[in-house]
Structure 1
Amino acid sequence: MPHLIDWEVVAIMAPLLGALAGLVMPRAAAGIGIAAVGLTTLAVAALSWAVTTQGARMMALGGWGAPLGIDLRADGLAVMMLAMTAGVGLCISLSALAGQRARPAAGRPGVFWPLWLLLLAGLNGAYLSTDLFNLYVMLEVISLAAVGLTVMGGGAAALRAGFEYLMASMLGALLFLLAVGFVYLRFGRLDLMGLADLVTPGDPAMAGVLALMLVGLALKTALFPLHWWLPAAHASATAPASALLSALVVKVSLYIVLRVGQYLVPPTEGLVLLVGLAGGAAMIWGGIQALRAERLKLLVAWSTVAQIGLIFVAFARSGAAGTAESWKAAALLMLAHAVAKAAMFLAAGRIKDEVGHDEIARLDRSPVRPTLAQFTFALAAISLIGLPPSIGFAGKWLLMEGALAAGYWHWVALTFVGTLLSVAVFSRVMVPFLRFDRQRGPVGEHQGWALADAPPLVLALASFGLGLGAAQILTMLEVGEPFARATGAVLGGAP
């Protein structure tokens, strides 16, 4: 029975048309943006319900399916990423709207909303794509919007960070496109599920193609040692833009790594070990640099480098033979990072707005205590550290459980080291800022409460609600067998 409404198309076209409308009518950009984000959220909710109740969905655009046409597929993994993007994006949108109303001169809605909606269209398109070239196109759409969001704040630092981001993104895209070209020359098609039946495990040529893809995606994801552009880019942008970049943009490349590893080339033991070592190095280096950071947003940005490393460790935690379960741990950690990091960047922005700066050494001297933002920052830190009952804890528990079952104690040790560094990093902010030792005058306990505090608080609380529902999320991830390749099943069309 044909679908009455193609929610996949609505999820992509609603923000894309909204971006065009916001560009043409900049004075109405905020209203158009909220309406487009709301419609996209409804479409994602409807699509999630359909997939949960009826199974994975496949639709061919214009009636032309692969390999000649374009297929869109929604399974449990894609739906989780779409729902994560919609929920986090809606909260960031509301926070941006509240901030722009409070500071109209600084809001720049005519710039922010078209870029954000273009980014949203690219994100949803990437999660629904089943074709390597379409993934490349969506990556470029996302990068274009992300660079624009990075430089939106203005100033020399933002422009420099945006230029570095652009260079890294272009190089990563070039490597990915070269790999796509090699795949097409060899097989004459680019749809992932068709390629899954053609690729021979152990093919040395495909190993080289996979290496090109991984390096390109590692650049876009900022995996150590290819992370140089991320801290400055995320720290220099405005708070809503930083939340979008850290919570959502870096997840796309992680998602593509996951899909390519499952559909195209099953990872080898050596590759899994290399990815895990790079992830472990990112956890340690990112944590050390966060401890040295002088500004609050820079600290949060460096913690993103460390958290990306943790997700790559999750990829490797069971070895090549256990990748099906490893991907589930990585998916939970991706969700945990998106929700908590968006809350943390928005809270850091609120702290900077109310205190007047974000220099960590001087935060405890401020007579202004933006208590709701502080509380939100602390809740987000709990999830990123991985304490129960947050979704971050569920992801780390699954990671360590699988590593212990496989006998890989080194991944458990790395995870513990990364966790201790996270505790030290966030304690460095929260302990002095919650104490009043260096403030000699009266302390404004309840200053800084505003409507803009609500969205990050909702996100921080959601990280705990998602933790309590982690079992249901894992069940949803299995809809449509997105991990079937790792278990030896043949991937075909949606049921």
Structure 2
Amino acid sequence: MILSFTPGGRNAERIALCSTPFGFALACAIAFHVNRAGKPIVYLVGGLPPPLGIALRADGISAVMLVAAAVIVTAAAFYARPKFATPDGVSESRSSLTFWIMLQAIWAALNIIFVGGDLFNLYVALELLTFAAVPLVCIDGRPETIAAALRYLLFALFGSISYLLGVALFYGAHGTLDISLLAERVQSTPVVWTAAALMTCGLLAKTALFPLHLWLPPAHANAPAAASAVLSGLVVKGSFFLTLRLWFYILPALPAEKVAIVLGCLGSAAIIAGSVIALRQARLKLLIAYSTVAQIGYLFLVFPLATGASSAIGWSAGVMQILAHAFAKAAMFFSAGLLAEALGHDQIVKLGGAARVLPLTFLTIALGGLSLVGLPPSGGFSAKWLMLQASVASGQWVWTLPILAGGLLAAGYVYRILTPALSDDQISLVLPPKRSQEVIALALTAVAIALGFAPQAFFDFLEIGRPVVGQP
């Protein structure tokens, strides 16, 4: 990122594109070493152990998220190249330089979040993630995008302040912010519960969990397609990942059954509300954005489901939902961007016959919708099937209702997109789509489908470093 900023101009794009294969290779190397070791790997920054130093820790879920982020960022970079290339005859353009630097900043922040072991450093990573994501929302400078970015910033700052207050309370009570050391020291005290509540509220605001979702739809729907894909597929997952770290890694000894139920209820409300609102949208990108609100709700079902006897199944379900949604939603935002450029609009009622002239684009949307609905074979099906299994195994039948209802509602809004597009109406293109961009989008949705065929070895890998919660 710094290397891109220093020379600026066209060099920012070149450095960003050249760094993506290196970053992907590094993420794969970390995953390989975690798998070979069969346990989390730890790197001490400066050689000093906590609490004097900072430890970076990669376990199964960290390694998987590192690889997923590398794939999606790489796809977004090459997808965005035609739009954000520096124009000929210009030494440097504001939008191009901003996009490439902010994309790399988002990637760096996510990597720190996935392997960070210190709560304050994770706060710094969260701030970097926010202040890199907000400019991407309003990169084109339109009034509506600036308004969306300011709303995003307002919610993000509330989340940051709340999170930092919780971190301060943890440090004051225990004298350390290292996750492993805190897990050994925390007890069920008013200070700990207050800190946990503050941090959780802040992270929920950044994750856009219902009813703190008001910033997400306008931000994701008005950003450029490449930015929307990264925001929906990865950025909101960063704060959710820290919520997992907080409750499963730092506070596993606390009697948090009621907290898990509250988070599960909020997730259920998000599934229903987000899906119902998505059904009413006139624009394709807004529909996809509200679908993100609904799909985020599934993630929070991991809290009641990943405890007790069903913890392994619930944990695998949560990680599979993260991955399936990330790849499917990134692909759908790519496709929505291609469609808007090709047709000059993204009004759903005006999509009549569009699948005849944009077959690859609508194939991507259909396959991504297949995963969102939870139909086999797809990663979305595996995630929802595992959630249903965990619900039954743990005797928490109530969570099956939002899971099944969300699938039916998702089928409704996917049907709304495909029905007019598959009609025999005549439609003309304003601009033919670039085949390379269609292939990139289709490749991502193929990954979302391929996750449905994940072998048992993949789920065993997710167990590396998994905290055991709610078992004697």
In which range does the TM-score fall when normalised by the shorter chain? Answer: over 0.9
Aligned-pair CA distance for 1:161:
0.4
Distance 1:160 1:98 in 2: 26
Distance 1:250 1:260 in 2: 16
SS in 1 for 2:46: helix
Aligned-pair CA distance for 1:482:
2.5
**For residues 87 and 486 of structure 1, do their structure 2 counterparts lie closer, same or farther at Cα, with a shift above 3 Å needed?**
farther
**Which residue of structure 2 lines up, in the alignment, with residue 176 of structure 1?**
163
- Tell me if structure 2 keeps the 8 A contact 1:51–1:74: yes
**Which residue of structure 2 lines up, in the alignment, with residue 51 of structure 1?**
34
**For residues 83 and 49 of structure 1, do their structure 2 counterparts lie closer, same or farther at Cα, with a shift above 3 Å needed?**
same
SS in 1 for 2:57: strand
1:314 pairs, out of 302, 313, 323, with 302
Aligned-pair CA distance for 1:169:
0.4
SS in 2 for 1:228: coil
- CA RMSD in angstroms comes to 2.2
Distance 1:170 1:454 in 2: 37
Give 2:242's aligned amino acid. I
Distance 2:105 2:358 in 1: 33
SS in 2 for 1:63: coil
Distance 1:150 1:207 in 2: 35
For residues 118-155 of structure 1, the C-alpha deviation after alignment (integer angstroms, 9 at most, x for no partner) is 11000001111011111111000000000011111220
**Which residue of structure 1 lines up, in the alignment, with residue 139 of structure 2?**
152
Instruction: Report matched runs for 1:425-440 at 5 Å.
Output: 425-436=413-424, 439=425
Give 2:413's aligned amino acid. V
Distance 2:217 2:151 in 1: 11
Give 1:474's aligned amino acid. F
Distance 1:390 1:475 in 2: 19
For residues 362-391 of structure 1, the C-alpha deviation after alignment (integer angstroms, 9 at most, x for no partner) is 111669721111111111111111111111
Distance 1:349 1:103 in 2: 20
Instruction: Report matched runs for 1:264-303 at 5 Å.
Output: 264-266=250-252, 268-303=256-291
Distance 2:275 2:351 in 1: 20
Q: Does 1:210 find its partner at 2:196? A: yes
Aligned-pair CA distance for 1:326:
2.4
SS in 2 for 1:58: strand
SS in 1 for 2:200: helix
Distance 1:465 1:126 in 2: 26
SS in 1 for 2:357: coil
**Which residue of structure 1 lines up, in the alignment, with residue 234 of structure 2?**
248
Aligned-pair CA distance for 1:29:
1.7
Instruction: Report matched runs for 1:122-201 at 5 Å.
Output: 122-200=109-187
Distance 1:103 1:347 in 2: 24
**Which residue of structure 1 lines up, in the alignment, with residue 21 of structure 2?**
38
- Tell me if structure 1 keeps the 8 A contact 2:274–2:294: yes
Aligned-pair CA distance for 1:108:
3.4
Aligned-pair CA distance for 1:442:
7.1
Aligned-pair CA distance for 1:22:
3.9
- Aligned identity (percent) is 37
2:247 pairs, out of 261, 264, 282, with 261
Distance 2:191 2:266 in 1: 23
Which segments of 5 or more consecutive residues in structure 1 lack a partner in the other structure?
A: 1-15, 489-495
For residues 308-348 of structure 1, the C-alpha deviation after alignment (integer angstroms, 9 at most, x for no partner) is 01111233236667545423211110111111110010011
**For residues 318 and 262 of structure 1, do their structure 2 counterparts lie closer, same or farther at Cα, with a shift above 3 Å needed?**
closer
**For residues 198 and 431 of structure 1, do their structure 2 counterparts lie closer, same or farther at Cα, with a shift above 3 Å needed?**
same
SS in 1 for 2:211: coil
**Which residue of structure 2 lines up, in the alignment, with residue 378 of structure 1?**
366
Which segments of 5 or more consecutive residues in structure 2 lack a partner in the other structure?
A: none
Q: Does 1:394 find its partner at 2:388? A: no
- Tell me if structure 1 keeps the 8 A contact 2:353–2:420: no
Q: Does 1:68 find its partner at 2:18? A: no
2:79 pairs, out of 67, 71, 95, with 95
**Which residue of structure 1 lines up, in the alignment, with residue 63 of structure 2?**
79
**Which residue of structure 1 lines up, in the alignment, with residue 446 of structure 2?**
461
Aligned-pair CA distance for 1:254:
1.0
| Number of equivalent positions | 465
Distance 2:87 2:423 in 1: 30
Distance 2:427 2:442 in 1: 26
**For residues 23 and 467 of structure 1, do their structure 2 counterparts lie closer, same or farther at Cα, with a shift above 3 Å needed?**
farther
Aligned-pair CA distance for 1:476:
0.9
Give 1:159's aligned amino acid. I
- Tell me if structure 1 keeps the 8 A contact 2:353–2:427: no
**For residues 103 and 450 of structure 1, do their structure 2 counterparts lie closer, same or farther at Cα, with a shift above 3 Å needed?**
farther
**For residues 288 and 189 of structure 1, do their structure 2 counterparts lie closer, same or farther at Cα, with a shift above 3 Å needed?**
same
**For residues 134 and 226 of structure 1, do their structure 2 counterparts lie closer, same or farther at Cα, with a shift above 3 Å needed?**
same
SS in 1 for 2:10: helix
- Tell me if structure 1 keeps the 8 A contact 2:370–2:378: yes
For residues 426-474 of structure 1, the C-alpha deviation after alignment (integer angstroms, 9 at most, x for no partner) is 11001111112xx3x4778x96352111111100111122221153321
- Tell me if structure 2 keeps the 8 A contact 1:333–1:396: yes
SS in 1 for 2:43: strand
Aligned-pair CA distance for 1:88:
1.3
Distance 2:299 2:140 in 1: 29
- Tell me if structure 2 keeps the 8 A contact 1:165–1:230: yes
For residues 241-278 of structure 1, the C-alpha deviation after alignment (integer angstroms, 9 at most, x for no partner) is 00010000000111111111112223622111111110
**For residues 265 and 442 of structure 1, do their structure 2 counterparts lie closer, same or farther at Cα, with a shift above 3 Å needed?**
closer
Distance 1:101 1:145 in 2: 19
**Which residue of structure 2 lines up, in the alignment, with residue 327 of structure 1?**
315
Give 1:288's aligned amino acid. V
Distance 1:447 1:167 in 2: 38
Q: Which moved more, 1:274-283 or 1:360-369?
A: 360-369
- Tell me if structure 2 keeps the 8 A contact 1:369–1:447: no
**For residues 26 and 134 of structure 1, do their structure 2 counterparts lie closer, same or farther at Cα, with a shift above 3 Å needed?**
same
Q: Which moved more, 1:343-352 or 1:102-111?
A: 102-111
Distance 2:81 2:69 in 1: 18
SS in 1 for 2:251: coil
**TM-score normalized with structure 1 length:** 0.89
**Which residue of structure 2 lines up, in the alignment, with residue 6 of structure 1?**
none
**For residues 426 and 129 of structure 1, do their structure 2 counterparts lie closer, same or farther at Cα, with a shift above 3 Å needed?**
same
Give 1:214's aligned amino acid. T
Q: Does 1:474 find its partner at 2:443? A: no
